[in-house]
Chains A and B, each alone.
Chain A
Amino acid sequence: MSKKQPNILEHELVPKHEILSPEEALEVLKKLNIKPYQLPWISINDPVVKAIGARPGDIIRIIRKSPTAGETIAYRYVAVDTVKPKKKGA
């Protein structure tokens, strides 16, 4: 058995994840007129987050393949795990 760790980002179930730069993130939040915590979350312990090296507070753009629209863009907010997720951040 080889010790080589397979790259999970290449798996067919995993869509493309990109970390947004602060400027891009601000633009997205302005366009959607929301605060970061109102986006769907992604845990800091998520294997993909670890693989792309995102940090808490980052916003990740996810380019999903959709059977109806071809391609859709979703955003997720990198959050630290809490026991019971409640409102946080600004």
Chain B
Amino acid sequence: MKRIKSIKKLETILKENLEGKVSKAVYEKLREKLIGIYKEHGLYEEELQAIIEETIRRYDISQVEPGEPVGTVAAQSLGEPSTQMTLRTFHYAGVREFNITLGLPRLIEIVDARKKPSTAIMEIYLDDEHKYSEEKAKEIARKIETTTIENIAKEIIVNPFEGAIIVLDPEMLMDKGVTPETVIKVLEKLKLGKVYQDEEDPNTIRIDLKPEKADYTKIERIRVKISKAKVKGIKGINKVIIQERGDEYILVAEGSNLAEVMKIPGVDYRRVYTNNIAEIEEVLGIEAARSAIIREVINVLEDQGLDVDVRHVMLLADMMTWTGKVKQVGRMGIAGEKTGVLARAAFEMTVQKLAEAAVSGEEDPLVGVTENVIVGQPVPVGTGIVEIYMTPYKPYGRGEEE
């Protein structure tokens, strides 16, 4: 028996015999463990060889075999736990102010590839300069959060004789970091008439309505127009909350606008996250959408205390992003794009699908599982995937050689 003399020797043996034969994660884990054992007890070369061989053997056993119906297994592994999920929408743990869709409704949303989640939420991380100070985090929060006139006004009065009077709340002005001058600029853009500050009170703004606008029938519309006018912020983001996570401050925003938020200076655009998968696909591409689907599904499952292997979720995400666009799992997506006519008809809208196929003269090569079940043939799955081709007689002209 030969003792291994140094960690370096151990690593070279490991590298020669194991690298490339198992996945990187397994390799790294084994390397760490072996170094630990080596430091404590020492190792013999033969021992190491035996460990490596056993690792490779078990790794090979654990891999999926050809013909294994991974899709069916994934579907069942995701479907069964989802029956145990509560149908209620829960409150977002930790943030009282938000009410977020979780559980089964959210899972359905992801799998259906909806364009907009029912409750969009963004997690905005800040760069080194801003993430350690609450003050600076707030500064950015103000930039992002949409502020309308309604948010900063105490009163909005519109009548045909006096025009519009907007009384601003000085406390809110301070909080949001807005001055009456910016409000005037915003109001001028609405083109309602002459906008000016009241002489006595700087926080009161008056608008002299144009004569054609000073009409009783239009007053309510004007009032809404004024109150909804955006003073600052990013479109689509309604409320921003500062949260402490670990040693840094992050912003959690209700609503989502990934492209615009990434452009804000002070935001760590590498880590900005939204739960709107369609938006991620548009801004960051299909591979990012794949990662986001995995992350979202795992989040939902973990939140409900369900333990599903990531591999099933990864397969789901792979299938959903196969065509380069996020496709739903349903009649418009994965199930609707199956090649076989019978497989599509077996899922939903049987008569329509069969009629469509008949009209366009489609053929079914009977290669899938469903088709063969319908026809009553062996299913190409597991051992059924193997076929034997044999030559019952010797090919012409080649008989003598063999």
Contacts and interface: CB of A to CB of B under 8 A. Distances in A.
B211 interface: no
A40 B334 CA distance: 13
A49 B287 CA distance: 11
Nearest to B261: A6
A11 B269 contact: yes
Interface in A18-59: 40-43, 46-49
Interface string A4-23: 11101011111101000000
A14 B285 CA distance: 8
Contact of B284 (A5, A14, A62): A14
Interface stretch (B37-45, B128-136, B176-184, B320-328): B320-328
Contact of A13 (B284, B311, B322): B284
Interface size class of A (residues with CB under 8 A): 20 to 34
A41 B322 contact: yes
Contacts of A41: 322-324
Contacts of B273: 13
Nearest to B25: A70
Contact of A70 (B28, B262, B272, B318): B28
Interface in B264-295: 264-265, 269-273, 280, 282-288, 291-292
B287 A17 contact: yes
A42 to B, nearest CB: 5
B23 interface: yes
A15 B389 CA distance: 43
B24 interface: yes
B23 A12 contact: no
Contacts of A12: 270-271
B24 A70 contact: yes
Given A1-B264, A11-B269, A43 B284 contact: no
Nearest to B290: A64
B51 interface: no
B285 A6 contact: no
A79 B324 contact: yes
B306 interface: no
Interface string B8-41: 0000000000000001111110000000000000
Given A1-B264, A41-B322, A68-B310, A13 B288 contact: yes
A67 B287 contact: no
A85 interface: yes
Nearest to A78: B324
A30 to B, nearest CB: 19
Given A2-B265, A15-B291, A40-B318, A10 B270 contact: yes
A43 B23 contact: no
16 contacts: A2-B265, A4-B263, A11-B270, A11-B284, A11-B288, A13-B291, A14-B291, A17-B287, A41-B324, A42-B285, A42-B287, A48-B285, A48-B286, A48-B288, A70-B26, A76-B287
Given A12-B271, A40-B323, 9 more contacts: A1-B264, A2-B265, A6-B269, A47-B282, A62-B287, A69-B26, A70-B24, A70-B26, A85-B324
Which A-B residue pairs are the 4 nearest by beta carbons?
Answer: A70-B24, A70-B25, A48-B285, A69-B23
